[in-house]
Structure 1
Amino acid sequence: MMQPMGAGPSTSIFEKEDSITGLNFVAWFFAQTQKDPNFYPLERSTITFFNVMNFKTINQRFSYQGGNEYLCRFRDELQKLFEGEKVLRAGADHLVVISLNLSVEEIALRIKLLNKAMTSYEKGLRNQIKAGIYIADGTPQQPIVMMDRASLACREVHGIFNREYAVFDEELNKKHEQKQYVLEHFDEAFEKGFFKVYYQPIYRTLNKKVCGYEALARWIDPNRGMISPLIFIEVLEKVHLIHKLDAYIIDQVCKNLRDDIDGGYAYQPISVNLSRLDFELSDIKKVVDNAVAKYNVPKEYIVLEVTESAFASDQESLGDIIHCFREDGYQVWIDDFGSGYSSFNNLQTYDFDFLKIDMNFLRNFDKTPKSKVIIASIVDLAKKLGIHTLAEGVETEDQYEYLKRIGCELIQGYYFAKPMPIDDFHNKRAELCGFETNETPAERRYYDDMGRINFLDNSPLTRKRMDVTNEIPIALIEGENRVYRTIFANKAFYQEIRSFGANDINEVLSLLTPESALYCFKRLVYSEEYNETVEYNLILNNSVVKTKVRFLSRMGTKAVYAFMAKNISAHEKK
């Protein structure tokens, strides 16, 4: 454990007192408990380990002297909030509280108050302080083990904005133990073939036929059964071994695809997930090309899913590789769209064939109406950009029907099928591998062309021009003392009113008879109810014009209305 550089004279953590904060060091405190059992009843204590997020930023902004001042303020707040308990320094930006009299709930409250106080501190930079809590069980334990468990709990909430602390428990202990197992047995699992490829079918919403598969890595351990990918993928990414696993999955996918082709079965495009580290630690393009050449499979049947987190760094290089993949005939999809802060920037910067909507939008589908609006907006945006759409995590009939209605083309989730090993498909070939349940290549092209239609657009048949258009003629009209002016009008509105001889709203009103004009606004001029609407048909210059006026808002003597007009006669002639 190191002190911040530039923090004054070097002090060993095995000395009694920290020269910066004046606190006792944890290492010294633990050494005393080992020497003298009566020094402190550690076996009955609760250890809370604190870590300042992005502490380097404080040092960079305010110099190391400013960082030291921050630590002293941090110490002061802890001593005030945890009066009567032991507050210690663990090195770097870590402070520790060892308490005998506080419950987890009481500690959690103090953590919240600590963050509130440190956020208001001028050198706080809105840095969040995370904490891990370990509760001793009353049996003698090695102090370093207790500290490690509190630290481990703290690491559980790193990067999770809405969680300030975690408590070490049996579940966390098991998760940690599994991670250690992954580190120690990865090579063995790789060499002995414990990693298997599971395939989850992807379905077309319009015909409910299989039109693709996603390849997913599974670790089937002879002693532990299935090890969760949430465990081993995180570990392999952390120790920079994930590219080795992904290369193996790509090879197996190409092999399985070759087997289906040779066996005369209905094969489909298969997507494989690429990590950010695949681009950094390997020549991923070469890895894919070699596997495709080795098994002689069509490139258009290999889909590369790039998760949003991959775009966090080295964007230019990543963009070049994606471009090369697509130029060579591979499909490239963006995975987990909407899960990251840079979703829309990625659409602006890169070209994709498909956009996979993050499954989290469907988790609260029934309880949160906003989810439906967001999903529809994503589908609408993707189609305007010429990108196909897929929703993952579909689990109910209602979700499926909604996605079909808004024009989301493909779906994936437990509603249709769970991920399965290749043997399950082989054992159910008649059911899973025939053209009765799978799209043919001709069907795929046929339905992909259908998928370009945007059912959410008010002009779904208009050829997309990378432009934002609205074919509904609409204007915002402001009125004051029966004098009206146009605040906004779209192109369609001006085209419509010109078709019956008017150039602006005042000319439209001048064409009305006094009685009609009075009828037009009489109910709305003094309206206070948002969205109150009047609809009517008028004869203007021998044209039948359908008109709708809606009151929007009032400010003093001014009022604003939405005004829509459609020349029915002109449209009937067309």
Structure 2
Amino acid sequence: MFVMQEGPDLNRGNINLEKTDPITGLDTTAWFFSQTQRDPNFYPLHKSTITFFNVMNFKTINQRFSYPGGNAYLCKFRDELRRIFEGENVLRAGADHLVVISLNLAIEDIADRIKELNLVMGRFEGGLRNQIKAGIYVSDGSPQKPIVMMDRASLACREVHGIFNKEYAVFDDALKIKLEEKQYVLDHFEEAFEKGYFHVYYQPVVRALTGKVCGYEALARWIDPVKGMISPLIFIDVLEKVHLIHKLDAYIIEQACKDLRDDIDSGYAYQPISVNLSRLDFELSDIKSVIDRVVAKYNVPKEYLVLEVTESAFASDQKSLGETIKEFRDDGYQVWLDDFGSGFSSFNNLQIYDFDFLKIDMNFLRTFDQNPKSRVIIASIVDMAKKLGIHTLAEGVETEEQYEFLKRIGCELIQGYYFYKPIPLEDYHTKRAELCSFETNESPEERHYFDEIGRINFLDNTPLREHKLEIASDIPIAIIEGENRKYRFIFVNNAFKKVMRTFGADTTDEVLNRLHKNDPGILRKRYEGLIHSEETHEIVEFFEDFGDVKIVSKARFLTRMGDKIAYAFVIKVLSAKK
């Protein structure tokens, strides 16, 4: 797939090459390249720059506008290229591929023209907003086969497929090395399977509220005797292209279940392990049967094997994929939507499919410090997920500021280098006391307890109601945990802190102290109200007098774990001394 394939011998005179493409009327690349090889004076190709263009999802254009409409799109594409690249050679390379060959344009000039092209073609009639990608190859001045030059431009174009904020790529030394690595993977992946070069690394997931480990993600790593650690970005891409990714995923699933069984049998604290599923797992195998067999083989509880389906898996809108996901969830597995926000279909997927968790794409956190929009988008995702009854996890967390922000907006689970890096299983064996102790790990009872707490939406106007479709605002809200009639705050938002200050309390302990000093009759009435809320799941209301300040508070029972019980509170100031 990644080998540079040589084309026909264009110097042979017995090959009949069409000069003109019948749809666009452009010269064909095959004819143009044959002329450069026959006649050195025809065009100085060795001094040129080749820009290869590809229309994304051209099949959609044909489906929406029919084939004549698709041909009209190509002709519009041709006209704009001729206008934008006036004086350069515009050629047809087949399918939805057009090529520009130029002599005097720098990469920056070509990039500006690509941007203009997308702006113009984005206004194509019919309301179709489609993107055109490009790959650029600049000749180094040495004689080269034309097919190799265009192939390199095409390979560069392929690098930006599926990357929505990149319009073009340049074939440079870094890309050449990357393609050589892909070729190595292509040549050696069978050997890697046979000789056990693939390993499972585990990255802990922690609960934002407590910092305790509450899960792991199983990640594939290829440790090669020649190349060392080969990047997953390289080998996963190759295995997907050659339709062997399901073989790797099946291996990771089996290893994860085996390791989980070992932890259970050894008496250590154990957590759910999430594994990644590719779109091709659903296409190339009966993935439900594969997983069911492995789970039964190692006698692993189904709720302890979490299935992460990447958002790109839904690009083909397969009905069977949705049916299989429903079967998984009906059978007791958790299904998470991975990389949420990485593609255009994010919200459509939430309409069609049901998920237990959203994993927020780490790219939002990469711009966290520089782009304030990232915070708004992340908060909006958490707010929306809570209203839909879906839990949230943020991946790629690397700083305390990111962590505190995510905790403040109610994102429940955290994954990233701020807490833990992915490490091999043998490292866990040497760090059992730290990573596998019951003090640092969440218990099953705590998991259920905090999952219920996590349903509260700190960003909502009316957080005591469940699953509403309303715009959020900053209502004073707190979560209070009680045990044997002793209470403590485990969460307060900024609005709650502001109300505290109106009656002279700087800390939550001061608030509790003042509440405890109230009349015994008031204390008993408050306690009875909380019991009533637990028994009926109704919202209860209390009036408190802090001298100059009178407030009303509303509370709702959330969940119980043994003697521990959690409530959500919102408060409102009724009167205050001016």
SS where residue 17 of structure 2 aligns? Answer: coil
**For the Cα contact (< 8 Å) 2:49–2:101, is it kept in 1?**
yes
Structure of larger gyration radius: 1
Change (3 A) 1:461 1:13: farther
Aligned to 2:235: 232
Equivalence map 1:481-496=2 (5 Å): none
Output the CA distance in 2 between the equivalents of 1:123 and 1:56: 15
SS where residue 416 of structure 1 aligns? Answer: coil
**For the Cα contact (< 8 Å) 2:460–2:471, is it kept in 1?**
no
**For the Cα contact (< 8 Å) 1:13–1:25, is it kept in 2?**
no
Output the CA distance in 1 between the equivalents of 2:162 and 2:16: 28
Aligned to 1:536: none
Change (3 A) 1:198 1:73: same
Letter in 2 for 1:444: R
Change (3 A) 1:568 1:336: same
Q: CA RMSD in A?
A: 3.3
Aligned to 1:426: 429
Change (3 A) 1:137 1:404: same
Change (3 A) 1:112 1:341: closer
Output the CA distance in 2 between the equivalents of 1:13 and 1:167: 32
**For the Cα contact (< 8 Å) 1:58–1:123, is it kept in 2?**
no
Q: CA deviation at 1:345?
A: 4.0
2:51 to 28, 48, 51: 48
**For the Cα contact (< 8 Å) 2:459–2:474, is it kept in 1?**
no
Aligned to 1:353: 356
SS where residue 456 of structure 2 aligns? Answer: coil
Aligned to 1:200: 203
Aligned to 1:289: 292
Equivalence map 1:114-513=2 (5 Å): 114-116=117-119, 118=121, 125-313=128-316, 316-462=319-465, 464=466
1:28 counterpart = 2:31: yes
**For the Cα contact (< 8 Å) 2:397–2:417, is it kept in 1?**
yes
Q: CA deviation at 1:241?
A: 1.7
Output the CA distance in 1 between the equivalents of 2:311 and 2:131: 24
Runs of 4+ in 1 over 6 A off after TM superposition: 469-473
Output the CA distance in 1 between the equivalents of 2:573 and 2:139: 79
**For the Cα contact (< 8 Å) 2:460–2:470, is it kept in 1?**
no
1:418-439 deviation digits (Å, cap 9, x = unpaired)? 1111111112222222223222
Change (3 A) 1:43 1:401: same
SS where residue 223 of structure 1 aligns? Answer: coil
Change (3 A) 1:101 1:277: same
Letter in 2 for 1:147: M
Q: CA deviation at 1:204?
A: 1.3
SS where residue 186 of structure 1 aligns? Answer: helix
Aligned to 1:103: 106
Q: CA deviation at 1:178?
A: 2.2
**For the Cα contact (< 8 Å) 2:203–2:420, is it kept in 1?**
yes
Q: CA deviation at 1:181?
A: 2.4
Q: CA deviation at 1:362?
A: 1.9
Structure 1, unaligned stretches of length 5 or more? 1-11, 474-543, 547-565, 570-574
Q: Which moved further from structure 2: 324-333 or 218-227? A: 324-333
Q: How many residues align?
A: 469
Output the CA distance in 1 between the equivalents of 2:469 and 2:75: 56
- TM (norm. structure 1) is 0.73
Letter in 2 for 1:102: L
Output the CA distance in 1 between the equivalents of 2:122 and 2:348: 30
Q: CA deviation at 1:121?
A: 6.5
Aligned to 1:558: none
Q: CA deviation at 1:380?
A: 3.1
- TM (norm. structure 2) is 0.72
Q: CA deviation at 1:247?
A: 0.8
